[in-house]
Structure 1
Amino acid sequence: MELAMWGEATGQGWSQIGELGLAFVLSAAIGLEREVRQKSAGMRTHTLVGLGAALIMLVSKYGFSDVLGGHTVLDPSRVAAQIVSGIGFIGGGLIFVRQDVVRGLTTAAVVWMTAAIGMAAGAGLPVLALVVAGAHFLIVLGFAPLAARIPGSTRSPAWLRLDYEDGRGVLRTALESCTSMGFNVVDLSAEHDHEPEHRGGVTVHLTVQGPRPVVELASALAEIEGVHRVSTTQDDAIE
């Protein structure tokens, strides 16, 4: 009886174990990349998603063979389709909005793709699983530098000049505004303003990178009390 439960025909042979192993390795590799980049979903999450998706595919293919026959007809694709729906709950939990800035979309997409890779491995399509796993690393590691070089891209660093009155805590407020709007300050340099009309003022040069046009940040900074002028590459001056 135990021998009858082991073998390729029952879905519990070395071939299926190899498919689970492939899903494990590929999803763990993707999770390791996410872990190194300190994303909200790391190696454990991606490995569990990929391995679980592969197992569900195998269950869909072989798990109902004992009830088939006669008037019983099953569609194995229905079980696989539920993976796509179910993974949406995990992805939805990774996406959040703060100050009109959406975060977690890429991580949610990677989790969704890891499930698809696990499904391909479990379905006996190792070449497709390997190709898509390789495409993942090309996208996350290669596309970001490419997008940063596209003129006008929100991912490309933008230059910003801030003229303000010293001693009023303006710089601290400005940096808090940058953070709340989702901008990262890549570089910062300051100098005292020697113009007669701005005597006692400070000029700060910022290099920022964020999810929206820099002119929106400039407009918000111009509203801070004590700011004389905000200049950007897209707009000469906002006062």
Structure 2
Amino acid sequence: MMLQFEFLLRLIIAGICGVLIGYERKSRMKEAGVRTHFVVAVGASLMMVVSKYGFDDILGKDGVGLDPSRIAAQVVSGVSFLGAGMIFLQRQTVKGLTTAAGVWTTAGIGLALGSGLYTIGVGVTLLILVGQKMLHRQFRWLSAPKSEQLILRIENEPDMMGAIQRTLLSRNISILNFHAEKMDKDESEIELSMLVKLPGSYPAAELLSLIQEIQGVKAVEMQ
């Protein structure tokens, strides 16, 4: 009975670690939040406990041979499918990769705690939290080009596209691809979808202000 209370303690610690990682994701308005990470961590920890200790009563019997790692291995595969459902393509931009990887790692933390590796499980939780906080800050040595998806409603004028391109190039912003089509009700306006590449040091928030200053731009939205 005391051993089962220890197993329950492992599940509780796994749940706490899952909540911490989930809160960090939820605070950034990501797809999977506190509840998802909590359930994944506790579930993975439970499966690990069952995988290691759930068959003790039949071990040693004639003709019985068990691999205690099989259930844990299936958790890794199963959570991979769960993570794949969080990845989606939005206007040629892939989103949800970090969240999917976070859920997969949370399952690993649950497995570690379920097997009794408290130091590793808690240590990886702290490592993930610190890493996410640090890597979301602006470090010049980590600056890299970023891409943003823009939806513009512009006047149907001959040089509008050229004016937009010149304005962007003046800030070293390049257009990766674009698609334009006339508005259904009003052919004097065009809806323009653009994927642009920003320099690593250029704040994405200033991009909207830059676009809005262009004469002939009626509305702009960042996806």
Q: Which protein has greater RCO, CA pairs closer than 8 Å, 6+ apart?
A: 2
Structure 1, gaps ≥5 residues long: 1-5, 193-201, 211-239
Match of 1:141 in 2: 133
Match of 2:28 in 1: 37
- TM-score, length basis structure 2: 0.69
The one-character-per-residue Cα deviations of 1:38-89 (angstroms, maximum 9, x if unpaired) are 1111111100000000000000111111111122111101111000000011
Partner of residue 161 from structure 1, selected from 167, 173, 178: 167
Match of 1:57 in 2: 48
Match of 1:236 in 2: none
Contact conserved, 1:147 with 1:155, CA < 8 A, in 2? no
CA-CA distance at 1:99 after TM superposition = 2.6
**Partner letter of residue 27 of structure 2?**
V
Change (3 A) 1:82 1:191: closer
The answer on 1:68 being equivalent to 2:49 is no
The one-character-per-residue Cα deviations of 1:209-234 (angstroms, maximum 9, x if unpaired) are 99xxxxxxxxxxxxxxxxxxxxxxxx
Contact conserved, 1:121 with 1:129, CA < 8 A, in 2? yes
Match of 2:9 in 1: 18
The answer on 1:7 being equivalent to 2:7 is no
**Partner letter of residue 51 of structure 1?**
V
2: CA distance between counterparts of 1:111 and 1:18? Answer: 21
Contact conserved, 2:146 with 2:197, CA < 8 A, in 1? no
1: CA distance between counterparts of 2:67 and 2:213? Answer: 70
**Partner letter of residue 58 of structure 2?**
V
2: CA distance between counterparts of 1:151 and 1:22? Answer: 36
Number of positions where the alignment pairs a residue of Structure 1 with one of Structure 2:
178
Contact conserved, 1:162 with 1:203, CA < 8 A, in 2? no
Which entry has the higher C-alpha Rg, 1 or 2? 1
- TM-score, length basis structure 1: 0.64
The alignment's C-alpha RMSD in Å is 3.3
Match of 2:18 in 1: 27
CA-CA distance at 1:138 after TM superposition = 2.0
Change (3 A) 1:151 1:7: closer
Match of 1:106 in 2: 98
Contact conserved, 1:117 with 1:132, CA < 8 A, in 2? yes
Match of 1:234 in 2: none
Contact conserved, 1:117 with 1:133, CA < 8 A, in 2? yes
1: CA distance between counterparts of 2:10 and 2:18? Answer: 12
Partner of residue 86 from structure 1, selected from 78, 83, 87: 78
**Partner letter of residue 92 of structure 1?**
A
Structure 2, gaps ≥5 residues long: 149-165, 170-187
Change (3 A) 1:169 1:80: same
CA-CA distance at 1:137 after TM superposition = 1.1
Give the stretch that moved more between structures: 39-48 or 142-151. 142-151
2: CA distance between counterparts of 1:127 and 1:118? Answer: 12
The one-character-per-residue Cα deviations of 1:69-112 (angstroms, maximum 9, x if unpaired) are 12211110111100000001111100111332111111100000
2: CA distance between counterparts of 1:102 and 1:148? Answer: 24
Contact conserved, 1:50 with 1:114, CA < 8 A, in 2? yes
**Partner letter of residue 28 of structure 2?**
R
Stretches of 4+ moved more than 6 A in 1?
181-184
Q: Secondary structure at the match of 1:25?
A: helix
